[in-house]
Structure 1
Amino acid sequence: MQPYIDFILELDRLKSVTRKTRPLGLDRQENSAEHSWQIALLASSLAHLAAEPVDVDRVVAMLLVHDIGEIDTGDTLVYAEGHDWAAQQLAERAAVERIFGLLPPEPAARYLALWLEFEAAETPEARYAHAADRAMPVLLNLANDGQSWREHGVSHARVVARIAGPIQAGCPALWNYLEARLAEAQARGLFGA
């Protein structure tokens, strides 16, 4: 039992990893644990709209583990320019290997496989999971009048460049919805410089 308890208590640290977007109606940044929970429910809710049929349980499991590496690395703004994403991925891989390594070999390997599948984005489930992951910060920003876009100087073009491809690949209907909302947000001046 102790390895599982150690693992779960280590995961509690994900609650202290702050992101750049605020939860609706709150004057604080969301944390990565909240983000993972919310996108898992988003993906579960919209699964019937995925680009291809998906195993929803696998998608949810993937989304629950996809940011665990941030316990060691912290969160990076998805719209960051000039960021070394390859180095970030290597650091997160080392982190998830450490954290999943708290578990016995079988569950550790299962969680690592889910994390690697998400990172590769080659399966229908991983592509759909990426769509949900990219969409949620956009939905929060739209509902918060562009809060993190304005605070971090993120342009409309930068948002579209970072999210359009992954969302189109995993959930075209969601992209169609967001594309129109993003155009409206641009007309309202909700983006940074």
Structure 2
Amino acid sequence: MEFSDLHRQIEFIREVDKLKYILRKTKLFNSNRNENDAEHSWHLSLMAIVLADHANFEIDLLKVIKMLLIHDIVEIDAGDTFIYDTEKNHDNTVEEREAARRIFGILPEHQATELIAVWEEFEEQQTNEAKFARAMDRLEPLLQNTSNQGGTWNEFGVNYDKVYSKKKVIKNGSETIWKFAEQLIHESVANGILKK
């Protein structure tokens, strides 16, 4: 590996530090402080390690962890879109693709190519790894909102139908975790922290 590659890698490491400044709408467990994207990515990665046995299928756990660590890096340029945003679609956008090319493009070509491919795989949601990674991405905010007595659901007027619709993709990655998540959603309605 050339010394110039090291310079590009260090530049990338400096650039992605900006992820720590991207605030999400969800709050930390039992807290009023917003989570940042770096905390979110770390937490999802650890969740994947702990919950991997519940995947619907055999998964390459290292690939899942890579997906979870890089899936929101594009938000450095594109910003965080709230999953329940009524004006901007949360699905992949042109801005996110441009951000992926710019940010991962800082790296040496072989690494940039690999990470863009992993990011695209997560976005396309076709592989077992991407489905399980998405399950983690949808589970964490559910746990946060239930720990915060409705948290962003109440703050932004999000109802049961919207939550259920967004969370049901958990099932694609883990039937077991989906049953648990579905129970949490119903309990949240019963406890009055999620409106029907």
Same fold by TM-score greater than 0.5: yes
TM-score (norm 1): 0.95
CA contact (8 A) 2:189 2:195 kept: no
1:192 offset after TM fit, Å? 5.4
**Correspondence for 1:45 among 45, 50, 58:** 50
1:19-168 mapped onto 2 (5 Å cutoff): 19-85=24-90, 88-164=92-168, 166-168=169-171
Q: What per-residue deviation string (whole Å, max 9, x for no partner) do you get for residues 88-116 of structure 1?
A: 52211110110011111000001001000
Counterpart secondary structure, 1:127:
helix
TM-score (norm 2): 0.93
2: distance between equivalents of 1:72 and 1:192? 34
> Which structure has the highest strand share of the two?
2
1: distance between equivalents of 2:95 and 2:63? 24
1:144 offset after TM fit, Å? 1.2
2: distance between equivalents of 1:82 and 1:140? 24
CA contact (8 A) 2:63 2:129 kept: yes
2: distance between equivalents of 1:187 and 1:116? 38
Which position in structure 1 is the counterpart of 2:3? none
1:163 offset after TM fit, Å? 1.3
1:25 offset after TM fit, Å? 3.9
1: distance between equivalents of 2:154 and 2:30? 17
Of all paired residues, the percent bearing the same amino acid is 40
| Structure 1: unaligned runs, 5 residues or longer | none
Moved over 3 A (4+): none
1:26 offset after TM fit, Å? 3.4
Q: Which amino acid aligns with 1:127?
A: K
| Structure 2: unaligned runs, 5 residues or longer | 1-5
Which position in structure 1 is the counterpart of 2:185? 182
Alpha-carbon RMSD across the aligned residues, in angstroms, is: 1.3
1: distance between equivalents of 2:20 and 2:194? 28
CA contact (8 A) 2:30 2:144 kept: no
CA contact (8 A) 1:151 1:192 kept: no
Count the aligned residue pairs: 191
CA contact (8 A) 1:153 1:191 kept: no
